[in-house]
Structure 1
Amino acid sequence: MELAENIIWHDASVSKIERRQKNKHHSFVLWFTGLSGSGKSTVANAVATELYNRNTANYVLDGDNIRHGLNNDLGFSEEDRKENIRRIGEVAKLFVDSGTIVLTAFISPFKEDRNTVRHLLEKEEFIEVYVDCSLKECENRDPKGLYKKARNGEIKQFTGIDSPYEQPVNPEITINTETSNLQECVTSILEHLEKKNWI
């Protein structure tokens, strides 16, 4: 506890409000959650491209990419998965504070962990985007060959196979990548943001 007692928060000289004013848009998190292979990263990056074309400051935090660096010390136990999401939540909060729109693409299978991130942020700074796609379709796609490995017992604690995925109850946005094409999904998200006057 001695370390925590000697750490003092320093307020930034430039506020979040000032950064938003300079960027001319709101800053917030678009939290994409869904099974592996559902299309989270694909949709997040397509939305990011559209936002970039509209001159908005944005950045994509992708699950696999983050595990190459920041979270390369974590495995896939329930405890490590929780820590993975906790760290991402803290990083996402920093992006929001910088006036940036951050798009996160993580399976994030547990409701409790997603809610923890939501409560890290202020009101009107977190949008949960449920990327709905059936397990059967995700397995058919299997872009990384992970489902096959999981079915063969080569990967343990794989979400949807031997580890649960807790579907969002009241996500702000639901897109179905099984029944809608990529552009339809992107348009749906952008329209939601436009209605809120966030972009």
Structure 2
Amino acid sequence: MPTASTAARTESGPVGTVAVADPTVAGATVWLTGLPSAGKTTVATAVAARLRDTGRRVEVLDGDAVREHLSAGLGFSRADRDTNVARIGFVAELLARNGVLVFAAVISPYAAARDAVRARHVASGTPYLEVHVATPVEVCSVRDVKGLYAKQRAGEIAGLTGVDDAYEAPTAPELVLRTESSALDASVDAVLAALSERGLL
């Protein structure tokens, strides 16, 4: 079983020095779920930056970026949302299985789709942590980073998660973050502690 240690070694060859993945390093997926503007990507990016400074191989899978590049043809029906989550889960597990610490920042509103992602990781023996970024909708609607709540109030969009479409909150996540009452550094520390407790750092 891979263990958490230095993420890579370097080897010299005819084309210079390159980084080579260390097969003994454990990867994992940290799945951050929550409402729009809850702070998922902010936390994921900050944790990833902290870990990169230690030499770990990390990737952030942002739900919006994946929709743009991998799921551009999908809409926002329940089936399409589930397909998007499944695609992100596939990529996350593939990376994590190969020694990358993956931070997936995805609304992922439906429990069954999240459970399927967890099951994929369990089946391959890949560590998986679900983090509920449990920022209340009242706070998210004030932050409104992408203007979605304003558009919903103006009748320009429908089916906004947590407002006029369901968000099924996790019932047993590995970690709950309250970004409305905690500083970003505290959230980052909590995620790192959860990883450390599981021997993943």
User: Normalised by the shorter chain, which TM-score bucket?
Assistant: 0.7 to 0.9
Report SS of the residue matched to 2:22: helix
Q: Say which structure is richer in helix.
A: 1
Provide the TM-score with structure 1 as the length reference. 0.87
Deviations 1:31-89 (A, max 9, x none): 00000000000000000001111111110000111111101010111110010001111
Deviations 1:135-162 (A, max 9, x none): 0000011111110101222112110111
Q: CA RMSD in A?
A: 1.9
Contact 2:97 2:126 in 1 (8 A): no
What is the match of residue 163 of structure 1? Answer: 165
Shift of 1:97: 2.1
Runs of 4+ in 1 over 4 A off after TM superposition: 16-21
Matched, 1:176 2:188: no
Q: Say which structure is richer in strand.
A: 2
Deviates more, 1:21-30 or 1:178-187: 21-30
Deviates more, 1:69-78 or 1:20-29: 20-29
What is the match of residue 91 of structure 1? Answer: 91
Shift of 1:25: 3.3
Shift of 1:24: 5.3
Report SS of the residue matched to 1:59: strand
What is the match of residue 198 of structure 2? Answer: 196
Contact 2:28 2:127 in 1 (8 A): yes
Gapped regions of structure 1 (runs ≥ 5) = 1-15
Change (3 A) 1:46 1:70: same
What is the match of residue 135 of structure 1? Answer: 137
Report SS of the residue matched to 2:93: helix
Report SS of the residue matched to 1:61: strand
Distance 2:90 2:24 in 1: 24
What is the match of residue 3 of structure 1? Answer: none
Kindly provide the amino acid, as one letter, of the partner of residue 178 in structure 2: N
Deviates more, 1:132-141 or 1:91-100: 91-100
What is the match of residue 41 of structure 2? Answer: 41
Q: How does 1:65-144 map onto structure 2 within 5 Å?
A: 65-122=65-122, 123=125, 125-144=127-146
Deviations 1:143-190 (A, max 9, x none): 111101012221121101110101110100111001101000000111
Contact 1:85 1:108 in 2 (8 A): yes
Report SS of the residue matched to 2:72: coil
Kindly provide the amino acid, as one letter, of the partner of residue 130 in structure 1: H
Distance 1:66 1:197 in 2: 29
Distance 1:99 1:169 in 2: 28
Distance 1:96 1:184 in 2: 25
What is the match of residue 30 of structure 1? Answer: 30
Report SS of the residue matched to 1:41: helix
Gapped regions of structure 2 (runs ≥ 5) = 9-20
